[in-house]
Amino acid sequence: MSIPIFRTGRVTHGTSSRRARFTNGIKRFFLIVAGIFLLRESWFFGWVLWWERVNPGMTRFMEIRAAQIHAVDPGRALQKTWVAYDGISVHLKRALIASEDSRFSYHKGFDWGSIRHAVDANAKRGKIVAGGSTITQQLAKNLFLSPEKTPLRKIQEALITLMIESTWEKQRIFEVYINIIEWGDGVFGAEAAARHYFGVSAAHLSPGQAAYLAAIVPRPRFYDRNRNAPELLRKSFVLLHRMPLVRIP
């Protein structure tokens, strides 16, 4: 009785071929993903380099807010007027740094102490009650990204923050930030904010007015509707006393 002989060479060769095709497919997939990632980051970096010298006209946040406002009131435009760094009250500069990022002049885009504090505070409360974002991180978000709080958006924000900090001077970062953040319902930048709330230019804000405007920044649309909110007035008073202690670029 003869014993059948099974030939496995072809099967083995076929398995190896399938395995090689699968491996090559995985490599191509990751190369494509890496290519898309590099193209996207190059696009961001190109704009970062451009805005180092050229003042931004519209930011991503402005576009989002303009669309929201247009849906309710098609004839209404954003309030915004660019003003040079030297044309902004030193009081407002001090108040903003005291409110938003007291170590702005010292860090490289990330304040790790504030981040740790925010993580601890959020863990204790079981929800997001503190952000820990620096002025540069806020600038990156306002220029390019959406308000949604997702891990991917935070990663992209961090990458853009590194781009900005590696190419811009601190004064330029602060100048652009002051001119593009929202200060009320469709009110963007220090000049528009000063005229919207006090009827004066950004250059002529008093210390008290500057502290008030800086206190508005975390919740601009809410405080635009609630200008005498107790927490807003309390924070303004605290900032007024902290302002002389900070360093501005």
What integer best gives the mean pLDDT of the chain?
A: 89
Spell out the residues 6+ positions from residue 70 whose beta carbon is closer than 8 angstroms to its own.
76
* 53-105 per-position pLDDT tens digit: 999 999 999 999 999 999 999 999 999 999 999 999 999 999 999 999 999 99
Give the residue among 184, 237, 229 at the shortest CA–CA distance from 212: 237
pLDDT at 6 over 50: no
| CATH no., domain 79-249 | 1.10.3810.10
* 188-236 per-position pLDDT tens digit: 999 999 999 999 999 999 999 999 999 999 999 999 999 999 999 999 9
- In sequence order, what DSSP letters do the residues of 41-102 get, joined into one string? HHHHHHHHHHHHHS--S--HHHHHHHHHHHHH-TT---EE----GGGS-HHHHHHHHHHH-T
CA dist 115 → 112, 197, 209 (Å): 5, 32, 29
Spell out the residues 6+ positions from residue 122 whose beta carbon is closer than 8 angstroms to its own.
128, 129, 130
Domain layout of the chain by residue ranges: 79-249
Summarize the confidence of residues 154-160 as an average pLDDT.
96
**How far, in Å, CA of 51 to CA of 20, rounded?**
46
pLDDT at 225: 97
pLDDT at 148: 86
